[in-house]
Chains A and B, each alone.
Chain A
Amino acid sequence: MELFENVDPAAVDAAYELVAGLVQEKHPDLEAKKGALSELWCGLHAILQADNVRRIEELRRSLCLSDVLDDPDKADKKAVDALASNYGVSRRPPSYAYGDLVITLSHPFVISIAEGARLTTDDGLEFIIDKTLRLSADDLDKNVDGHYYFLVPVRAAEPGYVYQLAEDTALQPNFRIPGYVSCVAACQFEGGHEEDTNDDVVVAIMRTFATPGFGSAEGLEHLIRYSRDADGHFTDLRQFRIVGAGEPEMERDDGFGGKVDIHIAEGHKVQDLQHFLDQPYIRPLGMDIKVLVAEPCWVDMEIDIDTEGYQSEAVEAATKYVNSLPVGAMLRRSKLVKAINQVLPEDGTVSHVRMEAKLQMTDWKSGAAEIIDPPKIAAMTASKIDCRVR
């Protein structure tokens, strides 16, 4: 790319007129506005000068929050990052979505899939298997329709939100699998996002010095983020999304109160939420709190179901139980089915089912922090369902 492609031609002309005029004034008998001196020195000087002015202006704009917000694309990324560091804010790097796929086979074949094997959705999104997978026929699970299946973890080939596949999204493997029937996402994929834009970084900066209070989204976030500063809670939360605080979305999403989404950074303990929920000003305000965990957060559970009937009834009972959990938690259906199949008698009926399930806490609502307290879980069990948290 040519040097002059980024500069303003008017700025180059202005710089040229200035330098050529100065030289001409100093040396009246020297040809400064045409010829070698003009073209090879005054002209280059003017281009470099205009480029310097452009860079200085870009730097100035990058260090001014309102200017960056006016036109985020014109701000220099490094300068914005340097500015953000003064406020303890950093740009979130891009990350790859990940999740499990369930691959269904017609018969129990031996499966060997090499690391780096790729699968593609109908939209052309590529996913990669990061670890070589070797399964014998005995490792496969049998599905209710007589097919065999196995789970394989994959990650997106590129970072981005678009790679967060919905559950049951179909994929096509770019490699051969014996007895292949289908391949779908076993769960909602998570963790994929683009790198923060300049706009995102500046909004994060502005929230750090917003006046704590309920009058604005920034103030509300400040109130939450630094409410437990002395205890070290919430100061490292990556991202807040506040819907409400007088904004139109408040009417759209919730007719009677604001809502706060809290994204917990990797390594942040879910238990810490209890500290937040205990804040004296949260409950009286009727604030609806939604917690989104950045990394998968699992609680291992054992669920015993005493029933006399078919597998489908056991599944229904278990599903009902999970759905009845007051926290609105989400159970990975594939893992639930797998657990049941492991203890399914040959005749298709069950008298006692023990499920080893994992409860994925990604979609909690108010009071979610209580679920991590095993005694409270046990107290919530239904008459024929006994649930223990390991």
Chain B
Amino acid sequence: MSTYDLEVWTITPDGEMIASAGTGGRVTGIKKVAQRYMIALLQDLNPAKPKLGRRQPYGSGFLHTMKSGEMRTEMDVMSAFSLAKVQARMAIQDEETDEDPPEERFKASHLLKIEVTPGVMKLHIRIETRTDGIDVIYPIRTE
């Protein structure tokens, strides 16, 4: 059964994910999956953290690597993302059940481009479900 989730990020027409205005919006379909993916990607992977009914720890090591100062070049970012996307995928797919509709089941993610501007690093990520795909841009403040 298709369900909706509360909107945390709004995806602008050009694909950029910006914080929701807090108006209680709803997201469905692939946007819901994109939101779940970003939560998993940006959440610190801490084995000690309660699993909230999941079988394995939830999150990825992406932000931890970034905060530790190990990302100095685009290659560093790509390297960190390569590991983090696997962790995020495992976290998301661990939550899914066979009853979830195909458009809400995560399939893969790809880092398309890294755009670095002073103070901000933008990750261009393609997120795919079993039936669809969406390109999003996630800005991360770096200072």
Contacts and interface: CB of A to CB of B under 8 A. Distances in A.
A35 interface: yes
Residue of B1, B48, B51, B53 with most chain A CB atoms under a 10 A cut-off = B53
B6 A47 contact: no
Given A35-B35, A37-B5, A17 B50 contact: no
Interface string A86-97: 000000000000
Contact of B4 (A17, A29, A43): A29
Interface stretch (A5-13, A203-211, A309-317, A337-345): A5-13
B53 A16 contact: yes
Contacts of B89: none
Nearest to B50: A12
B76 interface: no
Contacts of A372: none
A134 B39 CA distance: 70
Residue of A4, A34, A46 with most chain B CB atoms under a 10 A cut-off = A34
A30 interface: yes
B95 interface: yes
Interface string A294-338: 000000000000000000000000000000000000000000000
Given A39-B39, A39-B43, A30 B3 contact: yes
Contact of A35 (B2, B36, B43, B48): B36
A33 B53 contact: yes
Interface string B3-24: 1111110000000000000000
The bracket for how many chain B residues form the interface is 20 to 34
B5 A35 contact: yes
B4 A34 contact: no
A9 B50 contact: yes
Contacts of B51: 9, 13
A121 interface: no
A30 B53 contact: no
Given A31-B32, A35-B35, A35-B39, A40 B50 contact: no
B39 A36 contact: yes
Interface string B25-66: 000000010011001000100101111110000100000000
B65 to A, nearest CB: 19
Given A16-B53, A17-B53, A36 B5 contact: yes
Given A31-B32, A35-B36, A2 B5 contact: no
A35 B30 CA distance: 12
Contacts of A16: 50, 52-53
A227 interface: no
A31 B53 CA distance: 15
A46 to B, nearest CB: 7
B35 A36 contact: yes
A43 B8 CA distance: 15
A10 B3 CA distance: 28
Contacts of A350: none
Interface in A38-59: 38-43, 46-47, 50
Interface in A10-25: 12-13, 16-17, 20
A264 B36 CA distance: 68
A34 B93 CA distance: 11
Contacts of B7: 36
A320 B2 CA distance: 99
Interface string A80-117: 00000000000000000000000000000000000000
Given A36-B35, A39-B39, A2 B49 contact: yes
A36 B8 contact: yes
B131 to A, nearest CB: 18
B22 to A, nearest CB: 12
B36 A29 contact: no
Contacts of B1: 28-29
In the A-B complex, the 4 residue pairs with the closest CB atoms? A12-B50, A35-B5, A31-B3, A34-B95
17 contacts: A7-B50, A9-B51, A12-B52, A30-B5, A33-B95, A35-B6, A36-B5, A36-B6, A36-B7, A36-B39, A37-B6, A38-B52, A39-B39, A40-B39, A42-B52, A46-B50, A47-B50
Interface of A: 2, 4-5, 7, 9, 12-13, 16-17, 20, 28-31, 33-43, 46-47, 50
